[in-house]
A and B are shown apart, each in its own frame.
Chain A
Amino acid sequence: AQSVTQLGSHVSVSEGALVLLRCNYSSSVPPYLFWYVQYPNQGLQLLLKYTTGATLVKGINGFEAEFKKSETSFHLTKPSAHMSDAAEYFCAVRAQSGTASKLTFGTGTRLQVTL
């Protein structure tokens, strides 16, 4: 069965600082990996995804993530944090489970951006 682990339930950075949110996955088959963002009382919005090909994936709002198979990681980064980046971020893995292609989420990391 596939799963994801997000290290750090809360991360705080200063505006303009580097954002690094960590995600490690477990999957017995090649995974498809996603990062989503959620603002309060809203649904989830896709930031970026890795399926095949280039291991460095660029997403919306200046975010990017690198798939590292040897480390089973898919960390999310942004060079310079903005106040509007404050939200909850979820890493997710999709892999076949029986007859279903199941999308499994991590527990989330709340990003706080301070002045």
Chain B
Amino acid sequence: EAEVAQSPRYKITEKSQAVAFWCDPISGHATLYWYRQILGQGPELLVQFQDESVVDDSQLPKDRFSAERLKGVDSTLKIQPAELGDSAMYLCASSWRGRNTEAFFGQGTRLTVV
């Protein structure tokens, strides 16, 4: 069964350091999402790609976060510099085109900033 792959699963970093997360969506999925989930809360969309283009990054803190999907396949989310408040689960998801399609999620990356 096809899955969304994310790495690493866990990451501990010191504040002010740079950190990066990688996501490989299900083959053929045009839409890719990065969500942030703070403990005890629902996922919050950070950025959404359609192929290689960003279609929504309204909640992405652009002073420190960046995301790319250069060839319209895998994607990288970067934080520089990391802050204590960035500690959260970072979830990647992908879906087929279309409004009636569900998103398939990866296992997530648990980030702890110390």
What is A's interface to B at a CB cutoff of 8 Å? 32, 34, 36, 41-46, 49, 51-52, 90, 94-108
Contact = CB atoms under 8 A, between A and B. Distances in A.
Given A51-B100, A103-B45, A105-B43, 4 more contacts: A41-B108, A90-B43, A94-B99, A103-B33
Interface of B: 4, 31, 33, 35, 40-45, 48, 50, 55-56, 89, 91, 93, 98-100, 102-108, 110
B55 A106 contact: no
20 contacts: A41-B89, A43-B4, A43-B106, A43-B107, A43-B108, A44-B105, A52-B100, A95-B99, A99-B50, A99-B55, A99-B56, A100-B50, A100-B56, A101-B98, A102-B45, A103-B45, A103-B103, A104-B45, A107-B42, A108-B40
Contacts of A99: 50, 55-56
B39 to A, nearest CB: 11
B99 A32 contact: yes
Given A100-B55, A102-B56, A46 B102 contact: yes
B91 A43 contact: yes
Contacts of A52: 100
A51 B96 CA distance: 15
Nearest to A41: B110
A58 to B, nearest CB: 15
A53 B82 CA distance: 46
Nearest to B3: A43
A90 B107 contact: no
Contact of A44 (B91, B98, B99, B100): B91
